[in-house]
Amino acid sequence: MSITRQTESQKQYNTSMKVLLIDDDVFLRDMYATKFVECGHEVEAVDHGDKALSLVESGHDFDVILVDMVMSGMSGVELITIVQNKGYIGDAICIVLSNQGQQADIDEAMAAGATSYIIKAEHIPSDVVTEVEKILSANQEGK
């Protein structure tokens, strides 16, 4: 799904993103996907790491892979490690979006290759979109 109007947020960060959102909680997954789409971004939302892995293995192109830490079957860290080690994601960045907020969890995700870590309980959905836009923009400027 693609929206062509440019939101204020996109004007500020000059970016429209293709997001792969992985979360096994259907309510949260749908809520975040809806918020990203409302802000003019394309979203592919899946419920577990195996589906996400299939998408990136088959060549789907994303700017951001937004992944929960705790999921059935494959953890967020496991998914990040696989896609980083196999080079499946090109220039995409991995951002963890999780309620796991312990420093050990954050350190583990960053060591696996996450660009950033957002704690769900500390951000309303629209703030998550803005934060992801900022992270992507900063990452693109740093290249």
Rounded CA separation 133/18 (Å): 11
We find that the CATH architecture of domain 8-141 is 3-Layer(aba) Sandwich (3.40)
Q: What pLDDT, on a 0 to 100 scale, did the predictor assign at position 3? A: 33
**pLDDT mean across residues, the chain:** 88
What is the share, in percent, of the chain residues with pLDDT greater than 70? Answer: 88
Q: What pLDDT, on a 0 to 100 scale, did the predictor assign at position 32? A: 97
pLDDT tens digits, 5-28: 344 444 454 468 999 999 999 999
DSSP 67-116: E-S--SSS-HHHHHHHHHHTTTTTT-EEEEEES---HHHHHHHHHHT-SE
Rounded CA separation 31/125 (Å): 8
Domain boundaries, the chain: 8-141
- Calculate mean pLDDT across residues 122-134: 94
- Calculate mean pLDDT across residues 53-76: 93
For the chain, the residue count is 143
